[in-house]
Amino acid sequence: MVAPSPKKRRPATALIAFVRALSMEEPVPLAEVDALVDSVSVDPAERVALVSALQQVNHDELTFVLSDLIGRRIARLRERESGLRDLDDVIGVWTQRLSAGALLAAAGAAVAGALTGGPAIAALAVPTIGGIAVALGRLRLRRGQAATSREREETEHLLKNVQDALNAR
C-alpha cells in the first residue's frame, strides 16, 4: 500500500498518513516526509493539528516514529546553524580583519606620502567598501542563524508536545 498523496490533505494529517505507512514498513519518499515535517514544524496551526491527531490515534508506535522524524529535523537545523556559525567565524571574521588591515596599510601609505591622489583614494576606498560589504554579509548570516535557532527551538517544543501526547494516554 502506498501512502496517500500529501497534496490531498493538510500537512499534519498527510504526515500522520506517512508515519503510519512507515510504521508498517511500507516504502515512502523520505524527502516528502521531511518536507512535511518542516511544513508542520513552522506552522502553529499544523503543530496543533498534529498533536490533536496524535491524541486520537490509538497506536503508540506512530508517536515514536514521528518523534524520530522530528528529531531528524532538529539535527538538520542544528547542522545548518553550526554551518552558519562556522561561516561567520571563519570567513566573516578573517575577511573583516583583512579589510581592516588593508585599510590601515593604505592609510599608512597615504600618510607617509607613498600613495597620493587617485591611487591613495582608491587604496582607502576599496578596503572601506569591502569592510562594509563584509559587515553587512555577517549581519545577514547572523539573522539566518537566529532564524534557524528559532526554528530549532520551535521544533524542539513540538517534539516535547508530541512526547507529552504519548505520555498523556
99-113 pLDDT tens trace: 999 999 999 999 998
2: left (phi > 0), else alpha (psi -120 to 50), else beta?
A: beta
Q: How far apart are CA 103 and CA 89, in angstroms?
A: 21
67-111 pLDDT tens trace: 999 999 999 999 999 999 999 999 999 999 999 999 999 999 999
pLDDT for res 161: 87
Residue 12 near residue 44, CB atoms below 8 Å: no
- DSSP state, residue 90: I
Q: Please name which of 4, 64, 2, 84 lies closest in space to residue 36, comparing C-alpha atoms.
A: 4
The one-letter amino acid code at 110 reads: A
pLDDT for res 119: 92
Q: How far apart are CA 113 and CA 106, in angstroms?
A: 10
Q: Within the chain, how many helices (H) and strands (E) appear?
A: 6, 0
Burial class (CB in 10 A: 0-12, 13-18, 19+), 22: buried
For residue 106, give Cα distances in angstroms to 1, 94, 117, 128: 70, 18, 12, 10
